[in-house]
């Protein structure tokens, strides 16, 4: 597992054993490859679901859809036995809708609750045109890049890929757990194929 990813990759020896078990159960080579890829993709989806929940928890972000936009599936195929998610390295913007951002004229700066901590971003502010509206998350904080009035830039918050890297031991544990689930699921599918083969011949 590398930073910014949550991918289930299974040792080739384990894949070979599962493939042989499926073929012995009557699935055939092509069918066994499809079953393995399907099972691995389900494991990958399970990893993705858990990482979305944990990223939301770690960052304190309020809207689940904001997390979903930063996560992209890695799909297993018969020729590529790995599945899971790739996580964008783009930072979340500090907005009212996602981090409870607010600002009052004359204050030291805008406030927000990124990383589940109430904090003040000194010198940040919320221009009138960005104080509301769904397009900007219902209030977007900015900072100035120099001492001059312009230019300005958005105030950025947590980076989901860095959060995954920061919590690497937990992420590895999630991936390892789902790899074990994949092995048991593939074995279960082999048993199903064997029952089908027996039923076909009245055994």
Q: Could you please report the per-residue DSSP string of 160-193? A: HHHHHHHTHHHHHHHHHHHHHHHHHHHHHHHHHH
Band (pLDDT 50/70/90 cuts) for residue 138 is: low
Say yes or no: 61 and 100 in one domain. no
Say yes or no: 21 and 68 in one domain. yes
What pLDDT is attached to residue 184? 92
CA distance 141 to 98: 12
Say yes or no: 107 and 64 in one domain. no
- Choose among 10, 21, 114, 120: nearest CA to 60: 114
Q: Which domain holds residue 105?
A: 96-154
Say yes or no: 135 and 42 in one domain. no
pLDDT above 70: residue 129: no
How many structural domains compose the chain?
A: 2
The average pLDDT across 22-29 equals 86
What pLDDT is attached to residue 145? 87
pLDDT above 80: residue 1: no
Band (pLDDT 50/70/90 cuts) for residue 8 is: low
Say yes or no: 145 and 115 in one domain. yes
Residue carrying structure tokens 């499809």 = 34
Q: Could you tell me the pTM of the whole model?
A: 0.85
| CB neighbourhood size of 157 (10 A) | 22
What pLDDT is attached to residue 6? 64
pLDDT above 70: residue 181: yes
The answer to whether 23 and 31 are in contact (CB under 8 A) is no
Say yes or no: 25 and 80 in one domain. yes
The answer to whether 115 and 162 are in contact (CB under 8 A) is no
Say yes or no: 81 and 177 in one domain. yes
Say yes or no: 150 and 170 in one domain. no
Say yes or no: 79 and 177 in one domain. yes
- pLDDT tens digits along 69-91: 999 999 999 888 888 899 988 99
Say yes or no: 66 and 105 in one domain. no
Q: Which residue has the higher pLDDT, 139 or 141?
A: 141
Say yes or no: 133 and 179 in one domain. no
Say yes or no: 146 and 171 in one domain. no
Give bridge partners of residue 153 from the DSSP assignment.
Answer: 143
- pLDDT tens digits along 149-167: 888 899 999 999 999 999 9
DSSP state of 135: G
The average pLDDT across 92-107 equals 92
- pLDDT tens digits along 34-61: 999 999 999 999 999 999 999 999 999 9
What pLDDT is attached to residue 5? 61
Residue carrying structure tokens 């199903």 = 192
Main-chain phi, psi angles of 95, to 5 degrees: -130, 165
pLDDT above 50: residue 2: no
The average pLDDT across 4-15 equals 70
CA distance 25 to 19: 10
């Amino acid at each position: 597992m590398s930073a910014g990813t949550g991918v289930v990759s299974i040792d080739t020896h384990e894949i070979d054993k599962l493939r042989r078990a499926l073929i012995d159960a009557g699935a055939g080579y092509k069918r066994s490859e499809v079953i393995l890829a399907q099972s691995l993709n389900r494991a990958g989806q399970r990893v993705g679901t858990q990482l979305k929940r944990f990223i939301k928890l770690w960052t304190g972000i309020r809207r689940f859809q904001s997390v979903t936009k930063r996560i992209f599936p890695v799909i297993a195929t018969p020729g590529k036995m790995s599945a899971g998610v790739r996580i964008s390295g783009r930072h979340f913007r500090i907005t009212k809708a996602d981090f409870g951002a607010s600002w009052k004229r004359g204050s030291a700066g805008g406030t927000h609750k990124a990383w589940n901590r109430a904090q003040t971003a000194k010198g940040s502010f919320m221009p009138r045109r960005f104080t509301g509206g769904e397009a900007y998350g219902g209030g977007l904080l900015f900072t100035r890049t120099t001492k001059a009035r312009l230019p300005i830039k958005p105030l950025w918050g947590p980076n989901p890929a860095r959060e995954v890297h920061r919590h690497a031991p937990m992420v590895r544990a999630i991936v390892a757990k789902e790899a074990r689930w994949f092995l048991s699921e593939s074995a279960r599918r082999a048993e199903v194929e064997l029952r089908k083969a027996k039923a076909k011949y009245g055994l």
